[in-house]
Chain A
């Protein structure tokens, strides 16, 4: 049985193909169209999935969309009515948006793919999140928590999943919170208030939070009341996202926290104004963590299970994830590589396979590499056309030796291997790598390559066998670090030697690399450790500001030429830029 899952129309559209219960491939539309966070109907992603599987659309047994469009429309219309007459400005754009294309998904799928409408299915949004988190995890019984901005009505769901010995599966979502009471929207409101782009700038809020103190936590708690049943309710007098198109926070919100930051204003946490922004970010982060930990703790008490599968965009908050793991009582926390909407394409397909067609569960390979594969010959051809020398290494050990030489000399390497990752994180197949030792490297990367704010941290990657030596991981922490989903303290004695990847609060969003999942990346980390004594590398996504993560060799090559990258590796081909690295950077490696 062949099932195509699709997510689209909000942000990060994607397609995923499941054959006989096992994913074959999955890719985000942005990786193919090169438009960051592309929300369009994912024609390119679908075409690539079908092509990759050697399949025609008519061979599909089902196409599953990741939400119920009519239910979402009901919510949008109801909120416009509840907000009457204040919703007058947002009503026309909302209706045009929905009636223009979003409501007619079934017709779009039928006409674009030519599949009969009887084969087109729709899961509920949070059930797709739950399926992506539960069915892709290695557990058979787990509590399930999903939290995001909003799906149809639900913004947060609690439940449990179960796989029986005979392979039959169930997902039972017991209770939910409904729009507008949403942790995702709460955090996005702070993102907008702090002048960052919503659905993208949430990482910036989390990074900025480490510079501040939660001085405004009482004010934030007033905005998010706790209810007697352990849930929460937003005090809507502080918010406008539910009824206005102009901005997401109200004048009362501004009265509590001070004037919002304008997007073009630089942030310097050393100034009074910058410190206030950092304090606001820290307060929002603290309150978010408190609520999530309470919810997870009550879910643990209720289910008595050891594992928690956690999906939805809020699960990208690595600081909150680490606190859930430490404080909720669950032994394991499973967050998929794409907990956001892109992962729902896979979740919707798996949900239909296990629960609609009632097929037996089959273990899903535990890795994030579901996209297009790199072609080393492409890089070699492009570089030769431009007169650059190409080193093509027949043996892996030679390639790794050359890359370690470059990294140890303080050079910055673009690293492309195998299939591209599903999800927002580069996990060793489309990564920019550098030595983790000197803070100057962090500034260099921010200034010359990523062109982003100085307060944003970079992540370390470490072989799972050595992770405990450098990072304070709670039980289950190494697993959470598999897809870079948790933020943990760097051991005090290593902070100076891991300065480029240690955030201002002494933490890092660590990736624990297992040999079986990424053998070449693991070997590179080991070889770097053998050379320098520290098997840790700085690992950041291979893209420039405003662009999606690179996919093909040509995109890596174009990024290499336009940025301060020194070396580019694709498969077994290695290309160096013709210029000298400054003596300062040579010295940067400790």
Chain B
């Protein structure tokens, strides 16, 4: 199985090209990818520690080492680009080029080997497709392009071993597991969106309270602060332990 960009990503190729044009933005993205890969590596080593299947354990550990190596590659290239291009870029478009996000909200402890393999397969496939696309749009940066090509070789292996192991462990239910994993990813995407929206709404509500209700209390608090003497205070006597204040 060869990694190919998704149709959706291919449609957005001009946009991806624009996002990756700026060297500073490129560097920041690579540093973010490094963090994500390192986190993914930790998840995979945890998966290796939890599985009872020795061959799967060896594969997960190899995968974890690959992720760590990718993190080092991304970090090193990101640093090189930053030192060559110290100009800050404010707009990073992280939503558009998310790297290997799939493992971010994975709870390895609560997954079975089968569901984990299905999740990893889809996640690696998506990441490999995206990395293939990033390689295509990096015409002006052969070093970064070469780095993505190296990472892509590992991603292809990850895609393939997860699929083969899923077929070994669940020969009759592999399709079902993959659909369940797809539904799970969709559900998590919905949850991310819902949480983000709720967070925005919550922030707006709190700001309204902050600017409408708090000013008089702020005046009192500032007046109280001005009366405070610097230095030691007598410790307040201990309150009964059942009390929360």
Binding site for B on A (CB under 8 A): 33-34, 64, 68-71, 74, 78, 80-82, 84-85, 88, 91-92, 95-96, 105-106, 118, 120-124, 127, 154, 157-159, 173-178, 181, 225, 227-231, 233, 262, 264-266, 352, 355-356, 385-386, 546-547, 552, 554-555, 558, 561-562
Contacts and interface: CB of A to CB of B under 8 A. Distances in A.
Nearest to A228: B231
B244 interface: yes
A562 B46 CA distance: 12
Contacts of A355: 238
Contacts of A64: 241
Contacts of B91: none
Interface residues of B, number: 47
A174 B238 CA distance: 11
Return the 8 tightest CB-CB contacts between A and B, nearest first. Answer: A84-B218, A81-B221, A227-B231, A70-B245, A121-B241, A233-B230, A385-B54, A92-B206
Contacts of B245: 68, 70-71, 74
Contact of A121 (B203, B233, B242): B242
A81 B218 contact: yes
A122 B233 contact: no
A118 B242 contact: yes
Contact of B243 (A118, A122, A561): A122
A266 B79 CA distance: 9
A80 B222 CA distance: 10
Most interface-central of B31, B58, B82, B221 (chain A CB within 10 A): B221
Contacts, number: 133
B235 A555 contact: no
A264 B82 contact: yes
Q: Which of A82, A177, A356 has the most CB of B within 10 A?
A: A82
Interface in B6-41: 31, 38
Contacts of A266: 79
Helix, strand, loop or mixed for chain A's interface?
mixed
Contacts of B222: 81-82, 84
B199 interface: yes
18 contacts: A64-B241, A80-B210, A84-B218, A88-B207, A92-B203, A96-B203, A127-B238, A157-B235, A175-B233, A176-B232, A177-B233, A231-B231, A233-B231, A264-B78, A265-B79, A355-B238, A386-B58, A552-B49
Interface of B: 31, 38, 42, 45-46, 48-49, 54, 57-58, 61, 64-65, 68, 75, 78-79, 82, 109, 199, 202-203, 206-207, 210-211, 214-215, 217-218, 220-222, 225, 230-235, 238-239, 241-245
A174 B234 contact: yes
Contacts of A552: 49
Contacts of B243: 68, 122
Given A174-B235, A265-B79, 7 more contacts: A68-B239, A92-B203, A158-B232, A176-B233, A229-B232, A355-B238, A546-B38
Contacts of B230: 181, 225, 227, 231, 233
B4 to A, nearest CB: 31
A229 B231 contact: yes
Nearest to A83: B218
A181 B241 CA distance: 26
Nearest to B244: A70
A154 B235 CA distance: 9
Nearest to A117: B242
Contacts of A70: 244-245
A74 B221 CA distance: 12
Most A CB within 10 A of own CB, among B233, B242, B244: B244
Contacts of A555: 49
